[in-house]
Structure 1
Amino acid sequence: MVIDLAYSTIKNRDIQNRDIRPEFANKLLCVPPSLENKGNIYVVKTSDPKVPEAYLNQFQKDFSLFLSLRSEEIVPQGRMFITLVGRSGTVKEDDIDLSNLPLYTPREEEVKEIIEKEASFIIETLKAFEINHSDPRDGNLVFDENRIGNYFASERRAITEPMLARHFGDHIIDHLFSKYAKHMSSKSMLERIKHTTIVIYLINK
């Protein structure tokens, strides 16, 4: 297990505001212990039902620690803005992710429950935004399929590259995400993709 010191320690105090990006907010400190997820490196449709539960339990533990430490860094009434890659369905229905990485994409209600239970922050705003890239009624529709694929690849790369490189080596990264971009820009994928981002604005108590 490799502990991310930027995530799990206090680096500064008396901070007025913090802006937390998905590559930190979606991270787990470790893969859930005793995880049996043969053939996959993440939670996918074919995963054992116990796997999503294990990932959620680990995210609850780690994100609670993350909130507690950030609360000690930020001054009272200071603000923290967090962006998470989220999802709208249950984990076992998600078969389009990079697919045992220390990474979790939560649902809006899961995040809300953790913040309220940890109790260091007041929730000013917590909202999930969903874009269906294949729905012509969506004003955010992007018609350039290659652009969509590259967008998803860049987003996933920002979150997962350090973990993948540590496990498999730097030499595979460019090729891996090039293939991922092509996969995500295919017509069959665009018909199923719903991109969810969770935006959170918190006030330190």
Structure 2
Amino acid sequence: MKHIIIAQLLDRRERRIDRCSNMEVENILRMKEGVGECSYAKNSLLQRTMIAKAKPVLQESIRGLYHALQPECLMIADLGCSSGPNSLMVVSEIIDTIDEERKNLNRKSPKFGVFLNDLQGNDFNAIFNLLPSFYQSLKEKKDSDFGPCFVSGTPKSFYGSVFPDQFLHFVHSSYSVHWLSQVPRGLESRNGEALNKGNIYIAKTSPPEIAQAYYAQFKEDFTLFLRSRGKEMVPGGHMVLTLQGSVQRNDPDSLWELLGSTLHTMVQEGVIEQEKLDRFNMPFYSPTAEEVKELVEAEGLFSVNKLETFKVDWSVDTNQNLENRAKFVANTIRAVTESLLTTAYGEAAMDDLFLRFSRMVKERMDQEQSEYLNIVVSMIKRD
């Protein structure tokens, strides 16, 4: 009986560890809520910079849409809107661009239906609290014949249907599609042994099947994303996506390697368990521009209008001193990953983890230029 009880306890422990590795991303992943020092609202300058960098592509796409379709009520979705000051930034840009175009063409203002989408754990209340000032700003800046504009939240995973068929004219998503619907399958052997030991993503020491599993999961997710939007968008609708990318296929991500190395140091010091590190993998994939293009073309629902890449320094502002830049990077990563890491390693480990991580980032940035490669793709729904 004693042996049976011990076996049952070990089995329960294994299942807890497995839940941390094969986590239900939809129920766990969320940006750090609130307005505290570690919140996404206070640490989303990087994402704001990406939106600004992709602005010319966004404006060109929305102008093309308006000229081609001239909708009386423009239905817009921002997928992966998150919370904080960035949430209404793209919406404002779209509305301003359309309003300018319709004035140039001496046309009546369309109505605007705006749908802000993210997972159910997102801090939607923070967005709703911004709406009164957003509506007031529109009232002050726009002519009396503008709009109206209606904004609502739609909590649901965008890997699947979110809206009715042929409902949307314009879809935008920035820094969201690189998050996977789940940790990739195939990261364990048939007998349950972790294959990516000591790493949390594709790393230099990862066996080849790890990169293959990550790409397979991204291909499955991105294809489902395209199919879902293909049903929801009207023919001739436009979509603009911005996501983190890689220079070449199966390229290790040095920032995730650094975070994995930080966790490994904590394992060596007995702060966290080796098995928890071995079984934790990020539900994330940074594709190459070619991979994105291939998958869009293979699905055949959209034509690629424009595809560009651009780089941004990890710290965004290279004029800051090295210590502040490293702290900025650590806070940015903490704001987007803490929900995942807390599930795996516990809340008590977070302050120590990101203090150590900041030091590692500082060392790396002192040795070499560290940048994110980003992809922005504009596409049009085929008839």
Preserved CA contact (<8 Å) 2:171 2:239: yes
Partner of 1:112: 293
Q: Which has the higher contact order (CA 8 A, sep 6+)?
A: 1
Partner of 2:161: 10
Q: Which has the larger radius of gyration?
A: 2
Partner of 1:153: 330
Task: Report the residue type matching 1:63 in the other structure.
Answer: F
Partner of 1:65: 224
Q: Distance in 2 between matches of 1:126 and 1:67?
A: 16
Instruction: Give the TM-score of the pair, scaled to structure 1.
Output: 0.81
| Pairing partner for 2:307 from 117, 123, 126 | 126
Q: Distance in 1 between matches of 2:331 and 2:241?
A: 19
Q: Distance in 2 between matches of 1:189 and 1:49?
A: 30
Q: Secondary structure at the match of 1:6?
A: coil
Instruction: Give the TM-score of the pair, scaled to structure 2.
Output: 0.46
Q: Secondary structure at the match of 2:170?
A: strand
User: Displacement of 1:48 after TM fit?
Assistant: 0.9
Tell me the alpha carbon deviations over residues 52-75 of structure 1, each in whole angstroms, 9 at most, x when there is no partner: 111111111111111111222222
CA 1:44–1:187 in 2, change beyond 3 Å: closer, same or farther? closer
Preserved CA contact (<8 Å) 2:309 2:374: yes
CA 1:189–1:199 in 2, change beyond 3 Å: closer, same or farther? farther
Task: Report the residue type matching 2:292 in the other structure.
Answer: V
CA 1:125–1:148 in 2, change beyond 3 Å: closer, same or farther? farther
CA 1:125–1:156 in 2, change beyond 3 Å: closer, same or farther? farther
Q: What are structure 2's unaligned runs of at least 5 residues?
A: 1-21, 27-155, 188-194, 261-280
Preserved CA contact (<8 Å) 1:127 1:198: yes
Matched, 1:26 2:178: yes
User: Displacement of 1:175 after TM fit?
Assistant: 4.3
User: Displacement of 1:115 after TM fit?
Assistant: 1.1
Q: Secondary structure at the match of 1:104?
A: coil
Q: What are structure 1's unaligned runs of at least 5 residues?
A: 134-139
More deviation in 46-55 or 66-75?
66-75
User: Displacement of 1:141 after TM fit?
Assistant: 6.9
| Pairing partner for 1:143 from 306, 312, 319 | 319
Q: Distance in 1 between matches of 2:324 and 2:220?
A: 36
CA 1:120–1:128 in 2, change beyond 3 Å: closer, same or farther? same
Partner of 2:283: 102
Q: Secondary structure at the match of 1:81?
A: strand
Matched, 1:75 2:234: yes
Q: Distance in 2 between matches of 1:38 and 1:45?
A: 12
Matched, 1:176 2:353: yes
User: Displacement of 1:190 after TM fit?
Assistant: 5.5
Identity of aligned residues (%): 31
Aligned length: 199
Q: Distance in 2 between matches of 1:154 and 1:82?
A: 24
Quote the RMSD (CA, aligned, Å): 2.7
CA 1:48–1:70 in 2, change beyond 3 Å: closer, same or farther? same
Preserved CA contact (<8 Å) 2:249 2:287: no
Tell me the alpha carbon deviations over residues 21-78 of structure 1, each in whole angstroms, 9 at most, x when there is no partner: 22x3011222222311111121111111221111111111111111111222222222
